[in-house]
Structure 1
Amino acid sequence: MSGMSRRGVLAVGGSVGIGALLAACGGSSDKGSQDAKDSGAGTGAKADAGAKTPAGPWSFTDDRKTAVKLDKTPTKLVAYVGVAAALHDYGVECVGVFGPTTVKDGGADAQAGDLDVSKVTVIGNTYGEFNIEKYAALSPQLLISHMYEAPTLWYVPDESAKKILALAPSVGINLKSVPITTPLQRYAELAASLGADMNSTTNAAAKARFEKASADLRAAAKASGGLKVMAASGSADSFYVSTPPSASDLSYYKSLGVDLIVPDKVEGGFFETLSWENADKYQPDIIMLDNRTATLQPKDLAAKPTWAQLAAVKAGQVIGWPSEPIFSYDKCAAQIEALTKAITGAKKVS
């Protein structure tokens, strides 16, 4: 792992999803992906959410304040996999994706959401992978990705970014230090510009589901009696505790009244790194554990004494955390509902 950039460390463990380094060290876990699907699955896009590409000129101003203007609405879209999954929920399809898309058996990674991964061209599946030849062969009309450290596009390799960005216009949406509602709105606006009917039965129902889920979480947090929640991620050597202000989902939960632990020694604005000997520094009532493919899951952590001795672990109050959200109303509602259920069913143990 020597020589890896800070951005690379964040990528393999997840920026807002706080940093397990397992993937950088060559490991992977299909189980983590399945857990993420089980805990965060939404209803997905229905037929009435299908997009109809608008005629005429197209423009969109992204979060770099860059105005992209084209003679016609782009249809050959290539996006970071989580972006493609969100657009899919709204009825907009991408021809290519990059980022964690498939697992070892060829199935879909949890970060692919409801995408049919057999129907998209995978430009790169891990951090640092981006096949420029494959990308160029798609004749891309628009590249779309998140931004955690603007103006850098998530999972677009620094060393080849100039070549990649010369092939098509790009759109970047900021995720750092904003509540989840901000990127949700921005991706909904982008989807609408690309032809999504945000007033369709499916899309309207998804937004209503999100709003109800938010209200239910606020009520559950208020009635919880001060339950403390900690968002964390595990790797072979370290335990990472996320700081809510930098994570769009966590900052939103905190605004709804969830008592999220804020670590006191945050590195780089994202998380505190603890050795496993000190993993009991914080004592939450509920642990939200990063459940993406690259991170260690409860069964993997069972042999670590400090993990096993955490009161929340002893009480069975550990839930999967899709720490890199898919920014569609459907998928974010599912995350909120899972947290509400955990808070409602938990007891005070700290």
Structure 2
Amino acid sequence: MSAKSSSPRLSRPTRRGLLAVGGALGIGAALAACGGEKASGSKSDTGSGAGEKSGPWSFTDDRGTKAETKAVPKNIVAFTGMAAALHDYGVEVKGVFGPTKGKDGKADVQAGDLDISKVEIIGNTFGEFDVEKYAKLMPELLISDMWEKDKLWYVPEGSAKKIYSLAPQVALWASSTNMEKALARRAGLAASLGADLKAPKTVDAKSRFEKASARLRAAAKAHPDITVMIGSASADLFYVSLAKMSADTLYFQELGVKFVEPKVDKAGFFEGLSWENVGKYKADVIMMDNRSAVLQPKDIAGKPTWAGLPAVKAGQVIPRVTEPIYSYAKCAPILEDLAKAIETAKKVS
């Protein structure tokens, strides 16, 4: 899943490239299942408060790889979305890589509540990873999502060996699992790094997530005729994603949401449609990729085939958080928004 720049490129796209630039729709490789649901049993894996951690630290990631340090890591560098999730649990990082700062200088949607002025940005687009900056941070731990087995998201393959030699790594699935499990794994990682999962803020966020899941399940059950399409737009193509290939939409599907099922490409992730054929699939609600690297609904409003879609004419288009920040606080609103869309949607397909 890779890209050469922050804007979609459609000539000879690689599998990783399409995932990165907007053909992705939040999809990953359906390869190995999650490595265990718990971190290894060191003193630092107990989940107590940050001030109580001492002694050796270890965590077994979803590759089955055990990261170990002599003490709980403090100099942490993480993929932006992962850093944002850890921030929600009270764990801060020193550096980030991935979409962090927009051209306007403001935080990218994937940065969540991170104060981007307080972290070193190692790279801001796919393929960017300043190894020298990374080394100067004296990293003790590198953390990222994993969309394809054994590949850390946004870590360039060409320099991965050198990057990995500088610090242990933790990779957690963003595909080949569902949202509920992805959340549990990241919460477990945060706990191992000093987060208090019993803090009122975290407990409340998890409760909200559970209520939102129940609401979405109820909405899907009450409106079984409502069909949802997962879309992403580039200048030349409209991509329709297969729900089961991403942790978030797989979970929505498990809760009962009825998704359009495209005839996927060889990689099994999505189908690319020309704008002339954008009406191939019937849908009542369209979820559109919200990442900064892809076109947004306002950018394609002038395309007649898009404007003519029944869901578009009915105003039943909602943002799709394609790469969720996997904290309970960030995921609960995603479920609430989809539930509301299904509850209020008119059957137009």
Asked whether the two chains share a fold, i.e. TM above 0.5, the reply is yes
Alignment length, in residue pairs? 321
Quote the Cα distance in structure 2 between the aligned partners of 1:128 and 1:166. 18
Aligned-residue CA RMSD (Å): 1.6
1:165 — aligned with what?
Answer: 164
Encode CA deviations 1:266-314: one digit per residue, 9 max, x unaligned. Answer: 3412111111111101010000001111111111111111111110000
Provide the residue aligned with 1:230 in structure 2. 229
Shift of 1:50: 7.9
Structure 2 CA distance for aligned equivalents of residues 347 and 260 of structure 1: 16
Paired letter, 2:14: S
Scaled by the length of structure 2, what TM-score is found? 0.89
> Aligned pair in 2 of structure 1 residues 276, 3: CA closer, same or farther (>3 Å)?
closer
Question: Structure 1 runs of 4+ off > 4 angstroms?
Answer: 1-4
More contact order relative to length (CA 8 Å, sep ≥ 6): 1
- Asked whether the 8 Å contact 1:16–1:246 carries over to 2, the reply is no
> Take 2:243 and 2:234, find their aligned partners in 1: how far apart are those partners?
20
Is 2:277 aligned against 1:278? yes
**Secondary structure of 1:52 counterpart:** helix
Contact 2:127 2:155 in 1 (8 A): yes
Calculate percent identity across the aligned residue pairs: 60
Q: Write the mapping of 1:220-259 to structure 2, written as runs, cut at 5 A.
A: 220-259=219-258
Aligned-partner Cα distance in 2 for 1:230–1:89: 30
| Amino acid of the structure 1 residue aligned with 2:230 | A
Matched-pair contact (CA < 8 Å) for 1:15–1:148: no
Aligned 1:47-66 pairs, distance under 5 A? 51-52=50-51, 54-66=53-65
Mapped to 1, the partners of 2:235 and 2:250 lie a distance apart of 27
Q: In 2, distance between residues paired with 1:299 and 1:15?
A: 20
Q: Distance in 1 between matches of 2:128 and 2:183?
A: 27
- Tell me the secondary structure at the aligned position of residue 59 of structure 1: strand
List aligned pairs for 1:1-350, cutoff 5 A.
1=9, 2=11, 5-13=14-22, 15-17=24-26, 51-52=50-51, 54-350=53-349
Amino acid at match of 1:63: D
For 1:253 and 1:50, how far apart are their aligned partners in 2? 32
Q: Which runs of 5+ in 1 are unaligned?
A: 20-48
Structure 2: where are the runs of 5+ without partners?
A: 1-8, 29-47
- 2 CA distance for matches of 1:197 and 1:343? 35
Cα drift, residue 318 of structure 1: 0.2
- What is the TM-score normalised by the length of structure 1? 0.89
